[in-house]
Amino acid sequence: MIGTEIHQFAQELWPINRSITGSGVRETLKKISKKLPSLKIKSVQSGTKVFDWTVPQEWNVKKAYIVTPDGKKICDFSENNLHLVGYSAPFEGEISLDELKEHLHTIPEQPNAIPYITSYYEKRWGFCTTQEHFDNLKNGTYKVVIDSTFSQGELNYGEILISGKSDKEIFLSTYICHPSMANNELSGPTVVTFIAKWLKEVGKTNYSYRIIFIPETIGSISYLSLNYKDMKNKIFAGFNVTCVGDERAYSYIPSRNGKTMSDLIAKHVLKWTDKNFVKYSWLDRGSDERQYCAPGIDLPIASILRTKFGAYPEYHTSLDDLKNVVTANGLNGGYWAIRKAIEAIENNKIYKTTILCEPHMSKRGLYPTISKKKSTSGQIRLMMNLISLCDGKSSLLEIAEILNVPIWDLYEIIKKLESQKLINVSNL
Amino acid sequence: MIGTEIHQFAQELWPINRSITGSGVRETLKKISKKLPSLKIKSVQSGTKVFDWTVPQEWNVKKAYIVTPDGKKICDFSENNLHLVGYSAPFEGEISLDELKEHLHTIPEQPNAIPYITSYYEKRWGFCTTQEHFDNLKNGTYKVVIDSTFSQGELNYGEILISGKSDKEIFLSTYICHPSMANNELSGPTVVTFIAKWLKEVGKTNYSYRIIFIPETIGSISYLSLNYKDMKNKIFAGFNVTCVGDERAYSYIPSRNGKTMSDLIAKHVLKWTDKNFVKYSWLDRGSDERQYCAPGIDLPIASILRTKFGAYPEYHTSLDDLKNVVTANGLNGGYWAIRKAIEAIENNKIYKTTILCEPHMSKRGLYPTISKKKSTSGQIRLMMNLISLCDGKSSLLEIAEILNVPIWDLYEIIKKLESQKLINVSNL
Amino acid sequence: MIGTEIHQFAQELWPINRSITGSGVRETLKKISKKLPSLKIKSVQSGTKVFDWTVPQEWNVKKAYIVTPDGKKICDFSENNLHLVGYSAPFEGEISLDELKEHLHTIPEQPNAIPYITSYYEKRWGFCTTQEHFDNLKNGTYKVVIDSTFSQGELNYGEILISGKSDKEIFLSTYICHPSMANNELSGPTVVTFIAKWLKEVGKTNYSYRIIFIPETIGSISYLSLNYKDMKNKIFAGFNVTCVGDERAYSYIPSRNGKTMSDLIAKHVLKWTDKNFVKYSWLDRGSDERQYCAPGIDLPIASILRTKFGAYPEYHTSLDDLKNVVTANGLNGGYWAIRKAIEAIENNKIYKTTILCEPHMSKRGLYPTISKKKSTSGQIRLMMNLISLCDGKSSLLEIAEILNVPIWDLYEIIKKLESQKLINVSNL
């Protein structure tokens, strides 16, 4: 099961302190490039204008912790990188518990969870801890140490291009900016890494593939500001990949358009993977589809997910881990949903019968020579129905929808009919 | 509450004997013009050909009553103008009860109601009374007096034009031809009077407004025969206003087309006014929409009503009064439904973001600077969703439907985004 | 009841041994041409290439039976032509029961039914019998006699053309290749015979009618290979007629397109004939619609049926008879469904009011001269609604759907309005 390998890779990436910039991002990309040697690690300088935004300074952390009045070290960043508010400014000083509390973040309704908090665009500092821990803090003087730096540096991302027969591209995007969290985020880059590995191994595909590993929001905005005109010309379909690692659900978020090839494929694959899959609306979006489908950008990008960000209790807390939330099984399901979607896009062509009226199938050994009641059920019926719909106009996906079968049930029949020269194929 | 003022005005118009022609119509229009000084009172001569119809002679009544064998005056027109069949020919004579009964109209299933009956295009005479009264009439000789006249005169109507920035017109039509009845009819002209007053006061609107007070059927046919070519060029949306005064329901009758701007606006406003509003079909029509939406006329006119004509028991009887049926509250609801529809048309423009990808809202103070789980709910989420839909193609109404909120919830946000130069506006 | 005549004709055709070729087909066509003297009997030579198929040799049978070890004659073709597998090769010999059983066909789950089996395109021989009979066969030597011949001959079909005002054609196809079975098949050619008789008698129709009686599959493929280009130009609508003789259901099979005039008409007629009529999909097809609607052929042919082939237990067995399955009542219903569909196509024109706004109906005596509550219900309301929809764009079928009445309820009103010159008519 490929899910096991993916889970191992996620464990390897777990301890790294990722943020939207900094050494954690570079370290993550280096580990991915071990599996994908052709991955290119790229950069955008701090201060660069990207549409309405400015790429922020690089943030790096050496150490960060608090010492209690009893001399105990708590909220230690080296133990759990969620303890420090992302982009915390440097600070060192002794303060009272009351003063400290103004910088402490908890989730009262999830007393054993450390929340994930960031402040990318306004300088402040803070620590995150569990409500249970917070409630036991005693009065006295606390020592705070945050040894972090802001510097002119770069925002980094990884990119890989796999060329196919056509210049038209399938686009996959995933993000690498969250510290130690599993479904949102490590499921995304790890599944995409293994999808990219498979695409490299499978040999010449019909479409080309553009795959990026970026920090969320500022990363996709930066990437788009550099590439969107080219992307609008080339990208035929694509998916933003996140939250593909737990076992609780399969879900779909539409593109803004809602009717692109990516949407049709995602809904088809998910329907035949889990008939109870969750259909979200554009209003439920929250990740980089916000940028890819923004007005004027309008790329055909949908999302195939397991349980969506914000829709599970452990989201954006220390509880979103590789034990209780993300599993090898969960990742396996996420991988195969994305892969089946890609395979469906690759196979979704236009077929046309070469013969007027039904072909004489029995003379080709593809049909019984004796005619009895109910002699043409099952696969034979499916084949005859498929032929009857190969009109040179409908796509295989449309035909599968009419036949009410998964598109992958038709790949073998199509091959047989093509080899018998009963149908011709053309691209979409 | 404006409903109270409207109800007072309805009481003022109540006693006037309106019909499709005659002094009652003129008196009604004069009272309306006290509130709307720019109202023009216009006329079409008796005998004028209007499409397939001919404007009938003017009908006026001095007195009409019956004297019983005991010398009691009954069915006295001066007490209730519903007692006389509309357009009754003059008659004076003594007749038996049996003869009289052939000229008496009642509603057996509503024994305490005087029905409303007319005979505009065939000369006859008759009286209307309650079934209870009818059942107590004794044998004997009855004296009948109908002192009515038919004369070459005119059909009158009132018209007001309020010019806006655009030559495109919003059209409102209501009728003034029914004697003392409240929901069907006084709710219509009184609500429209106050809508017109508001439009005059509000200052320059985007659209121009053409508002007419006419006798039903022959009035709208006459008006159309004079104006329909001009109207087909100019009218962008509009409503026939009737039955807007009771408290029992909100209702909608579509245009024949069913998909005009008027239909979309009416359904949107009513959905957010009363989720149980009644959706009628074109086959349920019955007022001047019959003419405005006739084949070849095809104006985009829908109806926003409280309880529809024919759909409440007091309809076309003396029970349709200003006490038990039409109330200040009921009129208030009718007024605001029409007004919200007009405001929605005025605000229903096309918006386009000025920025590619999401704008950086926190630098403008429009978004939290700290990112926490669930930090962007409510109004902030609504604003971000709205921005994501300002694609330069969708109208604000379409966006409100996608967002599943009343369009009026968006007016303030739109203003804020316009003032921040985050969106551009263009007309439909 | 015309169903009685149709049932008598079916009894007359019952004993003939029909197959896809041979003397049984010719005999059947001759009997049909007694009722339809203008029927032309046509032929295609054995060995002719028709698209992907080849017209098979002619098959004729002199005698066929088995003699049991006790000397009893069983499975005698002269008693029931279903006993012999269609297109059985000649054979004469003595064989053991075990050997014989390899050539015997039964239906274990329908122990009293003789199945209908054919082997048109592979030479074999076989007999069909009931499971009950099969179970009682004793060991011993059986004598088998099949005196059948294959010869260069012809495939026959009948064709009749009835010309109307327009060159556009309505197409009816039915088949004549099954031996003694009633719903599938005799209901088809017998009902079509009486429909054709009616069309001849009714005088000049608007459309021309092309009606064929053919062997199923190879017959329709042969006919199409000769005529499809002409048919694609001319055929406006049509039906494949089969299984129109039992009383259990009304059913509809769509054309592949699903939205042709034939589909719209079929669904309309069936909805108003039996609100529980069964709507099948293209995937449920099984008769000559497979050819008429094949990709590249694409004729607008739908099916109106009683109980569909394959959907009733007696299908393709000796139990599909003229007693328990097909009745005069059942055939009557089938006949009228087809006829109402044809009448609907003939009447489905475009109407346009000649008058702007509502016409003044009371001056024409078509409307009450006195206006009372509820005075315009029923037929008057229907007439006014109809007028309001005669916009010169909608067809009468579309109008009937909006009015939610059977199209035939409108024929009389349309005539009245035409005679009053209130509407103009034009063809689709």
Q: Which residue has the tokens 């939250």?
A: A243
Q: State the average pLDDT for chain B.
A: 97
Query: What is the predicted pLDDT for the residue at A375?
Result: 65
DSSP code for A213: E
Cβ count near B93 (within 10 Å): 10
B296 vs C362: CB contact, 8 Å cut-off? no
B391 in reach of chain A (CB within 8 A): yes
C122 in reach of chain A (CB within 8 A): yes
B357 vs A107: CB contact, 8 Å cut-off? no
Homologous superfamily assigned to A2-56+154-347: Zn peptidases (3.40.630.10)
Distance from C-alpha of C400 to C-alpha of C385, rounded to nearest angstrom:
10
Write the pLDDT tens digit of every residue in A82-108: 999 999 999 999 999 999 999 999 999
Distances C111 to C65, C74, C79, C107 between C-alpha atoms, Å: 20, 17, 19, 6
CATH of domain A350-426: 1.10.10
Task: Report the candidate in C253, C290, C300, C296 with the shortest Cα–Cα distance to residue A351.
Answer: C296
Closest chain B residue to C422, measured at CA: B52
Closest chain C residue to A371, measured at CA: C118
Cβ count near B46 (within 10 Å): 17
Q: Among the listed ranges B43-52, B400-409, C181-190, C375-384, which one has the minimum average pLDDT value?
A: C375-384
Residues 6 or more apart whose CB falls under 8 angstroms from that of C154 comprise C21, C43, C44, C45, C46, C55, C58
Question: Does the pLDDT value for residue A376 go beyond 70?
Answer: no
Question: Does the pLDDT value for residue C4 go beyond 90?
Answer: yes
Q: How confident is the model at residue C203 (pLDDT cuts 50, 70, 90)?
A: confident
**Whether the Cβ atoms of residue C170 and residue C131 lie closer than 8 Å to each other:** no
Distance from C-alpha of C246 to C-alpha of C62, rounded to nearest angstrom:
32
Q: How confident is the model at residue A378 (pLDDT cuts 50, 70, 90)?
A: confident
Q: Are strands C104-105 and C127-128 parallel, antiparallel or unpaired?
A: parallel
C235 in reach of chain A (CB within 8 A): no
Q: Which helix (H) or strand (E) is C25 found in, with range?
A: helix C23-35
Query: What is the predicted pLDDT for the residue at A373?
Result: 80
**Whether the Cβ atoms of residue A128 and residue A117 lie closer than 8 Å to each other:** yes
DSSP code for A81: G
Task: Report the candidate in C356, C359, C368 with the shortest Cα–Cα distance to residue C392.
Answer: C356
Distance from C-alpha of B339 to C-alpha of B195, rounded to nearest angstrom:
7
A362 in reach of chain C (CB within 8 A): yes
Question: Does the pLDDT value for residue A19 go beyond 90?
Answer: yes
Write the pLDDT tens digit of every residue in A20-59: 999 999 999 999 999 999 999 999 999 999 999 999 999 9
Question: Does the pLDDT value for residue B427 go beyond 90?
Answer: yes
Where are the domains positioned within chain A? 2-56+154-347, 58-151, 350-426
Q: Closest approach of chain A CAs to the CA of B200, in angstroms?
A: 38
Amino acid at B385: N
Query: What is the predicted pLDDT for the residue at B11?
Result: 98
Length of chain A as a residue count: 428
Q: How confident is the model at residue C378 (pLDDT cuts 50, 70, 90)?
A: confident
C297 in reach of chain A (CB within 8 A): yes
Question: Does the pLDDT value for residue B378 go beyond 90?
Answer: no
C367 in reach of chain A (CB within 8 A): no
Distances B118 to B79, B186, B216 between C-alpha atoms, Å: 18, 18, 13
C357 vs B221: CB contact, 8 Å cut-off? yes
A135 Cα distance to chain centroid: 37
Question: Residue B373: is it exposed, middle or buried by C-beta count within 10 angstroms (0-12/13-18/19+)?
Answer: middle
Write the pLDDT tens digit of every residue in B276-325: 999 999 999 999 999 999 999 999 999 999 999 999 999 999 999 999 99
Question: Which of C115, C256, C296 faces A372 most closely, judged by CB atoms?
Answer: C115
Closest chain C residue to B122, measured at CA: C369
Distance from C-alpha of B382 to C-alpha of B376, rounded to nearest angstrom:
9
C362 vs B119: CB contact, 8 Å cut-off? no
Query: What is the predicted pLDDT for the residue at B377?
Result: 73
**Whether the Cβ atoms of residue C183 and residue C310 lie closer than 8 Å to each other:** no
Distance from C-alpha of B421 to C-alpha of B404, rounded to nearest angstrom:
25
Q: Closest approach of chain C CAs to the CA of B278, in angstroms?
A: 19
Could you tell me how many CB contacts below 8 A there are between chain A and chain B? 83
In this structure, whether the domain defined by A58-151 belongs to CATH 3.40.1390.10 is answered with no
C260 in reach of chain A (CB within 8 A): no
Cα-atom radius of gyration of chain C, to the nearest Å? 26
Sign of the C-alpha dihedral computed for residues C408, C413, C418 and C423 taken in this order: negative
B132 Cα distance to chain centroid: 33
Write the pLDDT tens digit of every residue in C110-169: 999 999 999 999 999 999 999 999 999 999 999 999 999 999 999 999 999 999 999 999
Task: Report the candidate in A296, A235, A303 with the shortest Cα–Cα distance to residue A266.
Answer: A303
What SS3 string covers chain B?
Answer: CHHHHHHHHHHHHCCCCCCCCCHHHHHHHHHHHHHCCCCEEEEEECCCEECCEECCCEEEEEEEEEECCCCCEECCCCCCHHHECECCCCEEEEEEHHHHHCCEECCCCCCCCCECCECCCCCCCCEECCHHHHHCCCCCEEEEEEEEEEECCEEEEEEEEECCCCCCEEEEEEECCCCCCHHHHHHHHHHHHHHHHHHHHCCCCCCEEEEEEECCCHHHHHHHHHHHHHHHHHEEEEEECCCCCCCCCCEEECCCCCCCHHHHHHHHHHHHHCCCCEECCHHHCCCCHHHHCCCCCCCCEEEEECCCCCCCCCCCECCCCCCCCCCHHHHHHHHHHHHHHHHHHHHCCEEEECCCCCCCCHHHCCCCCCECCCCCCHHHHHHHHHHHHCEEEEEHHHHHHHHCCCHHHCHHHHHHHHHCCCEEEECC
Task: Report the candidate in B52, B57, B20, B62 with the shortest Cα–Cα distance to residue B156.
Answer: B20
Cα-atom radius of gyration of chain A, to the nearest Å? 26
Distance from C-alpha of B345 to C-alpha of B397, rounded to nearest angstrom:
9
**Span C366-388, average pLDDT:** 88
Distance from C-alpha of A401 to C-alpha of C281, rounded to nearest angstrom:
13
Question: Does the pLDDT value for residue A402 go beyond 80?
Answer: yes
Q: How confident is the model at residue A203 (pLDDT cuts 50, 70, 90)?
A: confident
Question: Residue C71: is it exposed, middle or buried by C-beta count within 10 angstroms (0-12/13-18/19+)?
Answer: exposed
Interface partners of B (3+ CB pairs, < 8 Å)? A, C
Percent of chain A with pLDDT over 70: 100
C105 in reach of chain A (CB within 8 A): yes
**Span C53-63, average pLDDT:** 97
Query: What is the predicted pLDDT for the residue at C159?
Result: 98
Q: Residue B105: beta bridge partners?
A: B128
Question: Does the pLDDT value for residue B376 go beyond 70?
Answer: no
Write the pLDDT tens digit of every residue in C344-363: 999 999 999 999 999 999 99
